[in-house]
Amino acid sequence: MVEEIYLEINIIKNLFIGRYSRNYYKRYILPISFSIFFTLLIISRIAFPGFYSITTNAISDLGNPILNPFPGWFFFSLAFWSMAILFPPLFLYLHHRLIKIHKIEATLGTISNFVSIFGMILLGIFPNLPEIMTIHLIAAVLSFGGLGLAITFYWLAIIHDSIQKAMRYHHLGIVMILVIITFLLAAISFLGIFEISSEIFLIDIAWLLNYPFWEWVLFILFALQLFFIGLIIPKQFS
Amino acid sequence: MNENVDNESNGRDGEDYECYICHHKLSVERAIPFAGGIICPRCLRKLLLPTLLILVVVILVIILLAIF
């Protein structure tokens, strides 16, 4: 009996620290995590009274108790708090794989992910109310900035050797594709985080669309990247 | 550098690697390390082009929304 409990605790511990197979990632961990998070967010959106547009309404408007009264804001907070439990198994799985390829990039990516989780928990605690807007925006920058950096570092770990080898053997098409993807990813992340940051100091430097739109762009792009990186990593390393 | 490349190319007789997607045998020149595995240039292009396309579409949508 004690052994069985110990075994189950061990299985849960291994899942939480990302020690599981690629099939598990693909079939269970990724779909379950995404489903729980997006279901909570969608419930919060359904509860939102009135019109909601991604170009004018920030993600955080769903967590604003004035704009989205109970239970709407509560589901938003639950969605972001749930990331503290749902997200580590995802990125620690990537970390265990990528650290075998490039230690520095993988470690920097994982540190950035922990910063991002801290930001997400703060986002759930501090809604975008005028009195606490600064701390809310700092939380947004931590969560989006952390996630953006993490995905960029993970991506660099993946393509580090590919670029070297493709350049050495003159696979110019591949070099170009890899460089362009890396540039576009970094450009979108940097521009988005810059636009969101500009709101913190109330400086009118936002020159391309409002920060609510950038929040949504980064949010969707990072989720897609996480999905993509997890899927392209092979079952076994060569 | 060139000497190393030559040694590497001549030292193996062509087909030492296998692409982790299509499982074809690959020569040193065509074996590209990617995400911890070995992949052929063709599969790598097939894998990355949709990503590139998605990113370009995202950028176009952003530009269009910014203009109108």
Average pLDDT score over residue span A172-177: 92
Q: Does A103 contact B at CB distance below 8 Å?
A: no
Check if the beta carbon of residue B50 is closer than 8 Å to that of residue A177: no
Closest partner residue to A221 (CB to CB) among B30, B58, B66 is: B58
Check if the beta carbon of residue B41 is closer than 8 Å to that of residue B32: yes
CB within 8 Å: B52 and A177: yes
Alpha carbon of A70: minimum distance to chain B alpha carbons (Å) = 33
Average pLDDT score over residue span A124-147: 88
Closest partner residue to A217 (CB to CB) among B31, B36, B62 is: B62
Instruction: Indicate whether A237 belongs to any domain.
Output: no
What pLDDT, in 10s, does the model give residues B14-47?
Answer: 568 899 899 999 998 899 999 888 999 999 999 9
Position B46 scores a pLDDT of: 92
List A residues 140-169 in contact with B (Cβ-Cβ < 8 A). Answer: 158-159, 161-162, 165-166, 168-169
Instruction: Indicate whether A238 belongs to any domain.
Output: no
Say if residue A130 is preceded by a cis peptide, omega within 30 of 0. Answer: no
Burial class (CB in 10 A: 0-12, 13-18, 19+), A198: middle
Residue B55 is which amino acid? L
* Residue B11 confidence (pLDDT) above 70: no
* Residue A43 confidence (pLDDT) above 70: yes
Distance, CA of B44 to CA of B46 (rounded, Å): 5
CB within 8 Å: A181 and B51: yes
Position A3 scores a pLDDT of: 86
Q: Name every residue whose Cβ is closer than 8 Å to that of residue A208 and which is 6 or more positions away in sequence.
A: A191, A195, B62, B66
Q: What average pLDDT does chain A have?
A: 87
ipTM over 0.90? The verdict is: no
What range does the domain containing A9 cover?
2-232
Position A204 scores a pLDDT of: 57
Which residues on A lie below 8 Å from B59 (Cβ)?
Answer: 184, 188
Position A208 scores a pLDDT of: 62
- Percent of chain A whose pLDDT exceeds 70: 94
Position A191 scores a pLDDT of: 80
Instruction: Indicate whether A29 belongs to any domain.
Output: yes
Check if the beta carbon of residue A62 is closer than 8 Å to that of residue A41: yes
Check if the beta carbon of residue A60 is closer than 8 Å to that of residue A72: no
* Residue A227 confidence (pLDDT) above 90: no
Position A81 scores a pLDDT of: 92
Position B9 scores a pLDDT of: 43
Instruction: Indicate whether A93 belongs to any domain.
Output: yes
List A residues 215-234 in contact with B (Cβ-Cβ < 8 A). Answer: 217, 221, 224, 228-229, 232-234
Alpha carbon of A165: minimum distance to chain B alpha carbons (Å) = 6
Average pLDDT score over residue span A60-72: 91
Check if the beta carbon of residue A60 is closer than 8 Å to that of residue A128: yes
Residue bearing the bigger pLDDT, B10 or A121:
A121
* Residue A186 confidence (pLDDT) above 60: yes
Distance, CA of A67 to CA of A108 (rounded, Å): 37
Position A68 scores a pLDDT of: 93
pTM: 0.84
Check if the beta carbon of residue A72 is closer than 8 Å to that of residue A48: yes
CB within 8 Å: B55 and A236: no
Task: Give the total number of structural domains in chain A.
Answer: 1
What pLDDT, in 10s, does the model give residues A84-95?
Answer: 899 999 999 999
Q: What average pLDDT does chain B have?
A: 78
Position B8 scores a pLDDT of: 43
3-state per-residue secondary structure call for B40-67: CHHHHHHHHHHHHHHHHHHHHHHHHHHH
Closest partner residue to B55 (CB to CB) among A171, A181, A213 is: A181
Position A206 scores a pLDDT of: 52
Instruction: Indicate whether A104 belongs to any domain.
Output: yes
User: How many beta-carbon pairs under 8 angstroms link A with B?
Assistant: 85
Among A40-49, A132-141, A153-162, A204-213, the range scoring the smallest mean pLDDT is A204-213
Cα-Cα-Cα-Cα dihedral of A170, A151, A184, B22, to 10°? 40
* Residue A183 confidence (pLDDT) above 80: yes
CB atoms within 10 A of CB B52: 16
Average pLDDT score over residue span A8-27: 89
* Residue A211 confidence (pLDDT) above 80: no
Position A26 scores a pLDDT of: 87
Instruction: Indicate whether A92 belongs to any domain.
Output: yes
Position B6 scores a pLDDT of: 43
Closest partner residue to A177 (CB to CB) among B31, B49, B58 is: B49
